[in-house]
């Protein structure tokens, strides 16, 4: 009796020692993500990962961006960053400079480069976007495209935008597409629509080969080509009256102008494809095209504007290998396509090239244009403090955005606007990059 009791106890001890040993080998990785909308899909992907890697457990949290950033920042200041988390292109420089992110260049080097859209990797380099090491890796990317309303083009008898459209062709099209039937000076249908938003303006600047920052990206320095692009846009508003002043569009969400058929063309991020589909419900036929190359662009060299959404590893993680394993999985071929909203492109090429991503049965028909643009990408103007000097999202009325709006309202000339936002922008940048 006693003997069997001892044996039982020993057996239990033995088992628990093994169990403990197994437990000890399980590493726990905390992963924070900023898109609760896709929480369930992400969880499925993680479950799959855990099944394939039984020694790694993932603690997964998804937060709205408005909560995500304050939360992550507070965690960083407490030294409690999650091992793996999402990072935007606008913030990566600051985080890398503050030494919060792990340099993962050695890991990235081992990836088969042909499998990924490596052009957008540059955004995650710090400090130099061409040559420095990477502090994160994209899982998806977006670009900016020209949306156009095919029905309006057909009615006006204008040819659809083509790859070799010049800015002159574009402008002539906008004029034909602008309709003011009651001749009150305010068109009922505009040919185009732009305001100071980064996704409206920068595509034109880059398509003209222009820059708004100096080479080191530490000061605002608008070059002639960029100025030419801004002047071109300004003329559309003030000289040709084919784009509404910003102040006239108050009360309507900027991304509703095109789906509500207020305007025949529109340049904005490719993620709006999902929004246009939802909102227009097939009410009209539409397509996408490249933003036309500018007159000063180097022949044969086209700069598309786009940027990635990325995943980073915390510098303080104690499990770099396990964390990288998870990251590699999250950016790889197993990620379900439904976890990308239409117009967001998986970083893994064969996923993007699949029938399911191209969705030929839906509008727009020209999804492959986005993939082509992915090979022409690179130039961005993200810096530390970008949101501040650019005037981004909730602060859209401020910074460079607000000043450019004044051009569309006819309150400022291009010259005045550039002087104003250069001065203000450099005040911001001098704080973050004092040495110069």
Partner 1 sequence: MQYRKFTPWLFLIPTLLGLILFRLGPMLAAGLASFTRWSVFSPPEWIGLGNYIELFNSDVFLLILRNTIIFSLLFVPGVMAVALLLAVLVNNRLKGMTFFRGLFYLPVITSVVSIGVIWSWILSPRFGLLYQLVSKFFNVVRLPSFLGDARYALLTLIVVYIWKMAGYFMILFLAGLQNIPEIYYEAATIDGASIWQKFRHITLPLLSPTTFFILIMSLITSLKTFELTYIMTQGGPNYASSTLIFSIYVNAFKHFRMGYASAMSYILFIMVGVVTYLNFKFKDRWVNYSE
Binding footprint of partner 1 on the chain (CB under 8 A) = 69-70, 72-74, 76-77, 94-95, 98-100, 184-186, 244-252, 385, 387-388, 393-398, 402-403, 405-406, 409, 411, 424, 427
DSSP-derived pairing of the beta strands 27-33 and 84-88: parallel
Q: In whole angstroms, how close is the CB of 85 to partner 1 at the nearest point?
A: 12
Write out the two tokens for 411. 């309150």
Give the residue with the Cβ less far from partner 1, 76 or 213: 76
Give the residue with the Cβ less far from partner 1, 22 or 252: 252
Are 124 and 310 within 8 A, CB to CB? yes
Q: In whole angstroms, how close is the CB of 258 to partner 1 at the nearest point?
A: 15
Give the residue with the Cβ less far from partner 1, 48 or 409: 409
Give the residue with the Cβ less far from partner 1, 203 or 244: 244
Are 246 and 408 within 8 A, CB to CB? yes
Nearest-angstrom CA–CA distance, 340 and 241: 37
Give the residue with the Cβ less far from partner 1, 44 or 188: 188
Nearest-angstrom CA–CA distance, 200 and 429: 22
Beta bridge partners of 147: 266, 288
Write out the two tokens for 235. 């003329």
Residues 6+ apart with CB under 8 A from 300: none
Give the residue with the Cβ less far from partner 1, 362 or 423: 423
Write out the two tokens for 305. 């504007």
Q: Which residue has the tokens 């600051």?
A: 94
Cβ burial of 334 (10 Å; 0-12, 13-18, 19+) is middle
Q: In whole angstroms, how close is the CB of 295 to partner 1 at the nearest point?
A: 30
Are 191 and 174 within 8 A, CB to CB? yes
Q: In whole angstroms, how close is the CB of 343 to partner 1 at the nearest point?
A: 25
Give the residue with the Cβ less far from partner 1, 48 or 419: 419
Q: Which of 342, 185, 179, 343 is nearest to 263 (CA)?
A: 179
Q: In whole angstroms, how close is the CB of 221 to partner 1 at the nearest point?
A: 21
For the chain, the first-to-last Cα distance in angstroms comes to 84
Are 226 and 417 within 8 A, CB to CB? no
Give the residue with the Cβ less far from partner 1, 261 or 334: 261
Rg (CA), the chain: 25
Q: In whole angstroms, how close is the CB of 162 to partner 1 at the nearest point?
A: 32
Q: In whole angstroms, how close is the CB of 393 to partner 1 at the nearest point?
A: 8
Residue 243 CA from chain centroid, whole number? 25
Q: In whole angstroms, how close is the CB of 296 to partner 1 at the nearest point?
A: 29
Side-chain-facing half-sphere of 301: CA atoms under 13 Å: 9
Give the residue with the Cβ less far from partner 1, 241 or 339: 241
SS3 338: helix
Give the residue with the Cβ less far from partner 1, 362 or 431: 431
Give the residue with the Cβ less far from partner 1, 375 or 416: 416
Residues 6+ apart with CB under 8 A from 156: 176, 177, 264
Nearest-angstrom CA–CA distance, 289 and 230: 20
Q: In whole angstroms, how close is the CB of 367 to partner 1 at the nearest point?
A: 31
Q: Which residue has the tokens 């650019």?
A: 390
Cβ burial of 326 (10 Å; 0-12, 13-18, 19+) is buried
Q: Please, what is the angle between helix 399-408 and helix 414-432, to 10°? A: 180
Q: In whole angstroms, how close is the CB of 159 to partner 1 at the nearest point?
A: 29
Q: In whole angstroms, how close is the CB of 381 to partner 1 at the nearest point?
A: 17
Nearest-angstrom CA–CA distance, 123 and 120: 6
């Amino acid at each position: 009796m006693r003997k069997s009791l001892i044996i039982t106890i020993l057996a239990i001890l033995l088992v628990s020692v093994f169990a403990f040993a197994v437990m000890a080998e399980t590493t726990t990785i905390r992963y924070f993500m900023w898109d609760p909308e896709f929480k369930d899909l992400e969880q499925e992907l993680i479950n799959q990962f855990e099944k394939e890697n039984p020694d790694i457990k993932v603690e997964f949290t998804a937060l709205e961006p408005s909560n995500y950033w304050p939360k992550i920042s507070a965690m960083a200041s407490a030294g409690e960053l999650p091992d793996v988390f999402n990072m935007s292109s606008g913030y990566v420089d600051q985080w890398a400079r503050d030494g919060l992110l792990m340099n993962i260049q050695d890991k990235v080097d081992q990836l088969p480069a042909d499998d990924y859209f490596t052009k957008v990797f540059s955004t995650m380099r710090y400090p130099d976007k061409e040559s420095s090491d990477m502090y994160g890796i994209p899982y998806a990317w977006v670009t900016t495209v020209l949306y156009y309303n095919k029905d309006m083009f057909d009615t006006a008898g204008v040819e659809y935008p083509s790859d070799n459209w010049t800015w002159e062709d574009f402008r002539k099209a906008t004029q034909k597409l602008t309709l003011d039937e009651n001749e009150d000076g305010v068109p009922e249908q505009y040919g185009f629509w732009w305001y100071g938003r980064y996704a409206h303006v920068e595509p034109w600047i880059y398509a003209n080969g222009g820059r708004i920052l100096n080479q080191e990206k530490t000061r605002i320095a608008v070059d002639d080509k960029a100025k030419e692009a801004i002047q071109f846009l300004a003329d559309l508003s003030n000289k040709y009256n084919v784009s509404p002043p910003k102040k006239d569009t108050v009360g309507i969400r900027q991304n509703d102008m095109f789906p509500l058929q207020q305007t025949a063309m529109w340049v904005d991020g490719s993620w709006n494809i999902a929004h246009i589909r939802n909102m227009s419900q097939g009410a009209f036929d539409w397509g996408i095209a490249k933003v036309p190359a500018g007159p000063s662009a180097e022949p044969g060299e086209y700069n598309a504007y786009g940027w990635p959404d990325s995943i980073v590893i915390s510098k303080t993680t104690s499990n770099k290998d396990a964390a990288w394993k998870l990251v590699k999985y999250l950016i790889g071929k197993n990620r379900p396509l439904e976890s990308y909203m239409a117009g967001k492109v998986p970083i893994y090429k064969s996923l993007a090239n699949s029938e399911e991503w191209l969705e030929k049965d839906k509008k727009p028909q020209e999804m492959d244009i986005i993939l082509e643009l992915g090979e022409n990408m690179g130039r961005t103007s993200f810096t530390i403090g970008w949101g501040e000097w650019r005037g981004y999202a909730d602060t859209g009325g401020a910074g460079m955005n607000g000043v450019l709006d004044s051009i569309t309202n006819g309150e400022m000339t291009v010259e005045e606007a550039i002087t104003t936002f250069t001065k203000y922008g450099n005040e911001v940048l001098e704080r973050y990059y004092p040495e110069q």
